[in-house]
Structure 1
Amino acid sequence: MTTRILHVLDHSLPMHSGYTFRTRAILRAQIAKDWDVRGITGRRHGAKGPDEEIIDGLHFHRTPGRPATGNALMREWRDMGAHADAIDRLVRDWRPDILHAHSPVLNAMAAQRVAKRHGIPMIYEIRAFWEDAAVGNGTGTEGSPRYWLTRQLETHAVRAADAVAVICEGLRGDLLARGIDPAKIIVSPNGVDMDQFGTPVPRDPALAAKLGLEGADVVGFIGSFYDYEGLDDLIAAMPRLVRARPQVKLLLVGGGPCEQALRDQASASPVADHILFIGRVPHDEVERYYAQVDILAYPRKAMRLTDLVTPLKPLEAMAQGRLVAASSVGGHRELIEDGITGTLFSPDDPTAIAQALSGMFADRGFWNARRATARAFVEKERNWASNIVRYEPVYQRLLTRPDRARTAA
């Protein structure tokens, strides 16, 4: 009998984010193994559409209604309750064998209510701790009462789950420090769907001419513009980098909360004409911009979020055959071996960024070998087609545990 897995999500396709792309990769890989898979999103899924839809071959259900308003705690409690009710209705109708809840913690709490009611095992997958993500995007403060409360909720959800998956060793280490049983935790690292990113497109000369990149050394960043990404440090590094490499250009593709501040900073730079903002581009156009870039730069700032969590974008760049240079925060060190698969530089240091990038441009002799080594690492270690096997023994253990007894709906 085919195993049915219901993924409990914050948001999904057609929205585009690292969160939705990881979800797509997981669901696609599980479907390829002939598992019956669906997802249900909470009220923070902001894309318009029907309450049930199939996108890119993936089956999604939506929690009806708009996000609640008012006091933050009451708002989140109401949204969690609505999400739990929607999950419960779907469980009664579709009868999944496993609930696979993904962070933030409100999803785990909603799924846990339903799992307990129906006797269904639940795995909780943490992509980042909610309290640290809030600090990273500027909506929270480390050490505040809200931060403390969210951390307690996270710990409680982990203890209540039947199994826990984390995306990196940094998150696993933090849970172990909280006293969580290591036998309960698996690491399911970020990976790349090689069918999606594994075939780099050739550089488009017409696009290069349109952007003014002909003959340029191109540094690029493609992603979301959050403060923790350190793009202000990258822009601050440009005058020194231009002095060393007069033909260098910085290509910034994407958008986000810090976009206007970054545009203002770039406009005031003495090398403003070397900094190009493209804005957001359709997802099916992203590879055309990857192809314009010589080195993808990821200058993340040093903080708990970046030390604990591994990003997805450097892996996608490696799969595209691009060189990567990144700050030496913990999340990057888990992905990138300095001098082997990429170049690491000190975080929060524009001078270090400029020196690392100018050094890479000055010596192109290693480029082809490094590209090949980095791509081979992704294919072998961070390919979703192989990563997905990490879930199988956990699912099997949960489905065959002696105390499992589904409650009648």
Structure 2
Amino acid sequence: MVRKLCVFPNDSLLSYYKKGEIKERYFNPKNWFDEVHVVSLFDEEIETHYVKTLAGTADLVIHKFGKANLTNYKGYERRVTDILKEIKPDLIRSYNPLVQGWIAAKCAKNLDIPLVVSLHTNYEQQRLELKKERYLQYLKLSYAAKTIEPFVFKNADAVICVYKFIIPYAEKMGAKNIHLIYNKVDLDKFSPTEKELVNKKPTIISVGRLIDQKNHRYLIEAVKDLDVQLIIIGDGPNYNSLTEFAARISVNNKVQFIRRVPNEELVKYYRSAIIYAQPMENLGGIPMPVLEAMACGLPIVMSKREHGQSEDIDDSIYFVENDPKEFARAFSQIISDTTMQKSLRNNVLNRIRAMGGEQMENKELSVYQQLVEPQSK
């Protein structure tokens, strides 16, 4: 029996590749599927051989349809359905409940194929943020909340939330069979072994897209009066303003910006650091770099969560107010106190081992098996 999975990703695989986010078996837990078919609803896409590892040992096929959005998505239904009729997948997975989710749900319903929808953000929270700054996008997502999202959740056989804070949104939208499965971290790859990069000064690292909500400016301010090195890895709309800010406050000699590092090379940067820092504003969940840094044994300094939000890692994190002075105080305390360093290191390692990639991959596979195997009997 040849098992086939059809994936509707949240972004183009080209985008995954550019961000250095090509991860082994990301679409194929435990190599359970023999074929992985990706339905790409984007104008630009990458050649298959660059991203083959996403499918593990399975054959990877990318079906390119061009850009779909909230204004033209209905025209894609028949075209995608015809392709899926030929593929005959055992399961469909959509990585959002919007355009990709709607088309995936339509195909799943028409062809009687199990559908799994995964949620990587709280769209209700996202709408509130967009209402303040990008009203047109807010209106589009408000339309989706009334029409597209309820249809997707109604037709999803299982919903995977990658953070706890997303679950209330999924429940409110009528999702059933909800599973909490955190992003997978390969603990064999990300581990606290010998340093490959040696820095002269204590090094603080932060990895992620350079956007307003992540407040990297706070970290730049925090190191102004500290004898440390700050490494910021990531790209985004704030890249130029952040580099200019570092120069303006005369800390550009302490701050190193690296726009992109392939995921397989990130580990050596984590191992070179003494602290991982994650400022956040109105962003719930656990950014993937936080989990990777934990696996490398780095103490995590992170902005306090909003009231009512919590995740399984929280008992191992050093939380501070979202303020440059508070980050600076935490950095100084950890760097000067080796006993604290050791305690925080042990805490993060114990926590990440309990929720590592192996456990999450098994949970994801179990969801698939429960939906697929009864149909094959």
TM-score w.r.t. the length of structure 1 is: 0.78
Matched, 1:375 2:334: no
**1:344 match:** 319
Q: For the residues of structure 2 that align with 1:45 and 1:376, how far apart are their CA atoms?
A: 43
RMSD value, Cα = 3.4
Does the CA contact (< 8 Å) of 2:12 and 2:41 recur in 1? no
Return the offset for 1:220: 1.3
Does the CA contact (< 8 Å) of 1:81 and 1:110 recur in 2? no
Return the offset for 1:143: 9.7
Unaligned runs of 5+ in 1: 209-213
**1:6 match:** 6
Return the offset for 1:39: 3.8
Q: After superposition, where does 1:243-322 map in structure 2 within 5 Å? A: 245=226, 247-301=227-281, 303=282, 306-307=283-284, 309-322=285-298
Unaligned runs of 5+ in 2: none
SS of the equivalent of 2:183 reads coil
Given candidates 69, 93, 101, the residue that maps to 2:94 is 101
Query: How big is each residue's C-alpha offset from its partner over 1:202-250, in whole Å with a ceiling of 9 and x where there is no partner?
Result: 2324xx3xxxxx1x121111222121111122223233xx2xx3x2121
Q: Which amino acid aligns with 1:35?
A: F
Query: How big is each residue's C-alpha offset from its partner over 1:37-83, in whole Å with a ceiling of 9 and x where there is no partner?
Result: 41414233734326x88612624333435436xxx742xx24x644x
Given candidates 169, 173, 182, the residue that maps to 1:174 is 169
The change in CA–CA distance for 1:329 and 1:19 in structure 2 (over 3 A counts) is farther
**1:334 match:** 311
Does the CA contact (< 8 Å) of 2:21 and 2:263 recur in 1? no
Q: For the residues of structure 2 that align with 1:18 and 1:322, how far apart are their CA atoms?
A: 26
Q: Which amino acid aligns with 2:91?
A: I
Return the offset for 1:198: 3.6
**1:211 match:** none
Does the CA contact (< 8 Å) of 1:132 and 1:142 recur in 2? no
SS of the equivalent of 1:100 reads strand
Return the offset for 1:274: 1.9
Q: Which amino acid aligns with 1:56?
A: T
**2:215 match:** 230
Query: How big is each residue's C-alpha offset from its partner over 1:89-133, in whole Å with a ceiling of 9 and x where there is no partner?
Result: 442233211111111521111111211221112111111145655
The change in CA–CA distance for 1:185 and 1:65 in structure 2 (over 3 A counts) is closer
Does the CA contact (< 8 Å) of 1:29 and 1:384 recur in 2? no
**1:55 match:** 52
Query: How big is each residue's C-alpha offset from its partner over 1:344-388, in whole Å with a ceiling of 9 and x where there is no partner?
Result: 1112x222211222211121213234323312321222x222113
SS of the equivalent of 1:192 reads coil
TM-score w.r.t. the length of structure 2 is: 0.84
**1:221 match:** 206
**2:360 match:** 387
Does the CA contact (< 8 Å) of 2:190 and 2:296 recur in 1? yes
Q: After superposition, where does 1:80-159 map in structure 2 within 5 Å? A: 81-82=75-76, 84=77, 87-103=80-96, 105-130=98-123, 132-133=125-126, 135=129, 140-141=134-135, 144-152=138-146, 153-159=148-154
Q: Which amino acid aligns with 2:243?
A: R
Q: Which amino acid aligns with 1:27?
A: F
Q: Which amino acid aligns with 2:334?
A: M
Q: For the residues of structure 1 that align with 2:54 and 2:23, how far apart are their CA atoms?
A: 13
Query: How big is each residue's C-alpha offset from its partner over 1:254-313, in whole Å with a ceiling of 9 and x where there is no partner?
Result: 211110111111111143322222332344432232222111100011x2xx13x33211
Return the offset for 1:172: 0.7
The change in CA–CA distance for 1:186 and 1:257 in structure 2 (over 3 A counts) is same
Q: Which amino acid aligns with 1:391?
A: E
The change in CA–CA distance for 1:333 and 1:230 in structure 2 (over 3 A counts) is farther
**2:38 match:** 40
Among all aligned residue pairs of Structure 1 and Structure 2, give the percentage whose two residues are the same amino acid: 20
The change in CA–CA distance for 1:19 and 1:262 in structure 2 (over 3 A counts) is closer
Matched, 1:164 2:164: no
Aligned residues: 370
Q: For the residues of structure 1 that align with 2:340 and 2:136, how far apart are their CA atoms?
A: 41
Return the offset for 1:315: 0.4
Q: For the residues of structure 1 that align with 2:286 and 2:18, how far apart are their CA atoms?
A: 11
